[in-house]
């Protein structure tokens, strides 16, 4: 059996990093979509322009779906950290009640 050494604080750091990545990606995709929409009709006209706008909307939508999956992973990591802390505290409390019997 492999020993598992888990640090809840490290789990929360990983979750926070993933959340920053998720937010950065969403912001970038949002900017991409808005910039593409702004180009449409200001000299960038026609079927290619429309296709580009539609593609940027699809890319942004896919990004939002991926973001939701990232959020689910982040929530699971945070829930795991909370569970680890809870069980660790329960074990600490149980072990603090163990006494040595003198004979």
Predicted local distance difference test score (pLDDT) of residue 3 = 52
Predicted local distance difference test score (pLDDT) of residue 76 = 96
| More confident site: 11 or 102 | 11
Predicted local distance difference test score (pLDDT) of residue 46 = 77
pTM score of the predicted model: 0.71
> To which residue do tokens 């979509």 refer?
33
Predicted local distance difference test score (pLDDT) of residue 75 = 96
Query: Residue ranges per domain, the chain?
Result: 13-77
Predicted local distance difference test score (pLDDT) of residue 92 = 86
Please report which confidence band the pLDDT of residue 4 belongs to, taking 50, 70 and 90 as the band edges.
low
44 exposure class (CB count in 10 Å sphere: 0-12, 13-18, 19+): middle
- Cβ-based neighbours of 74, under 8 Å, separated by 6 or more: 15, 18, 19, 22
Q: DSSP E strands: which ranges in the chain?
A: none
pLDDT at 80 over 90: yes
pLDDT at 97 over 60: yes
Mean of the pLDDT values across residues 18-46?
84
């Amino acid at each position: 059996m492999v020993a598992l050494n888990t640090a809840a604080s490290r789990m929360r750091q990983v979750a926070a990093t993933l959340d920053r990545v998720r937010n950065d990606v969403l912001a970038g995709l949002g900017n991409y979509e808005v910039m593409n929409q702004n180009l449409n009709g200001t000299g960038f006209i026609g079927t290619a322009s429309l296709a580009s706008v539609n593609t940027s909307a699809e890319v942004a939508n896919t990004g939002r779906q991926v973001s939701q999956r990232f959020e689910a992973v982040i929530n699971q990591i945070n829930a795991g950290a909370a569970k680890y802390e809870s069980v660790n505290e329960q074990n600490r409390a149980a072990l603090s009640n163990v006494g040595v019997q003198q004979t």
